[in-house]
Amino acid sequence: MERGHALLQRAVRLRRPWRLLTRDELIYAPRNPRPHKLYGFSPVEQIVMTVNIGLRRQVMQLQHFTEGNVPPGLLNAPDGWSAEQIRQFQEWFDSILAGNTATRTRLVWSPSGAKYQPFKEAPYKDDFDEWLARIVCYAFSLPPTAFTPQVNRATAQTAQEAALEEGLAPLIGWDKRLVDDVIQNRMGHTDLEFAWSDVRPTDPKDQATILGSYVKEGIYALNEAREILGLGPVEGGSEPMFLTAQGPVLLRETVASRAAANGQKADDPPSGSRRSPF
């Protein structure tokens, strides 16, 4: 191991390949292949322009506070005032209001004919920022719930769960295709395929409802449901049972009672069916 590590370091220093691997020893599977390039199209590369726009927008917002020259509004002087009168009134107005929060909460009498014209300040955040956030979250298969307004909490939670499931679906499908290619094409097992065995619902309440229904209907044994939840087995929970009005009943006891009523053994196939040759 140490010798191999030393050879690898030496190969890196000399900028030479440590080992020439064949196609059977390497798997190159870009998630977003392109016909005109050898390499894939990573999520970061997809949003380079979007990130550039977002950075420039943040610089523009910073310059609004550091270099902006748009005041909250303008006060028009009465007709006939000279430039000197306007300057004196400005100095007096600033002397009684600048830094004096108590006076700024009171009414101030102004000369007749003076009018105030407010300016509409640019919004700090609008739909364009939300659009940029949606693009970035979409590229990385993430829900944009944290950056978008929601009607209420229930709607936000539902939208987040749907976005999370939709975002994971392409990644899960790509992983399956990759493993299937290894199993079927490289290993030669054309009769096998990869399947996700732990695709759990996002909401724990939905998971509890589904597992409870499976156990009550006899589809899952109690220990099988506990294994999905990551819990240890319990005594007597390895056999499937279903729930009746009188309580839980083992599935094998029901099959045995029906077979006895029909004059068959419990392991005999039902009447009218053929026994499998296997």
Mean pLDDT (the chain) is 80
Question: What single letter denotes the amino acid at residue 167?
Answer: G
Spatial separation of the C-alpha atoms in residues 153 and 157, rounded to whole Å = 6
Q: How far apart are CA 239 and CA 220, in angstroms?
A: 9
Distance CA 216, CA 248 (A): 8
CA distance 213 to 198: 17
Residue 199 has pLDDT above 70, yes or no: no
Could you tell me the residue ranges of all domains in the chain?
209-261
Q: What integer is the mean pLDDT of 224-243?
A: 85
Q: Summarize pLDDT for 91-146 with one digit per residue, the tens.
A: 988 888 888 888 878 888 888 888 888 887 777 788 888 899 989 988 887 777 77
> How much of the chain, in percent, has pLDDT values that exceed 90?
12
Q: Are 117 and 74 in contact (CB under 8 A)?
A: yes
Model-level pTM? 0.53
Q: Which H or E run includes 92?
A: helix 83-97
In this structure, of 44-53, 67-76, 80-89, 219-228, the range with the lowest mean pLDDT score is 67-76
What confidence score (pLDDT) does residue 87 get?
92
Report the SS3 class of residue 243: strand
- For residues 203-232, give the mean pLDDT: 85
**pLDDT of residue 55 exceeding 70:** yes
pLDDT value, residue 60? 87
pLDDT band at 53 (very low <50, low <70, confident <90, very high): very high
Report residue 137 CA to chain centroid gap. 7
Query: CA-CA distance, 197 to 92, in Å (whole number)?
Result: 78
For a pLDDT cut of 70, what percent of the chain falls above it?
79
Judge whether residue 152 has pLDDT over 70.
no
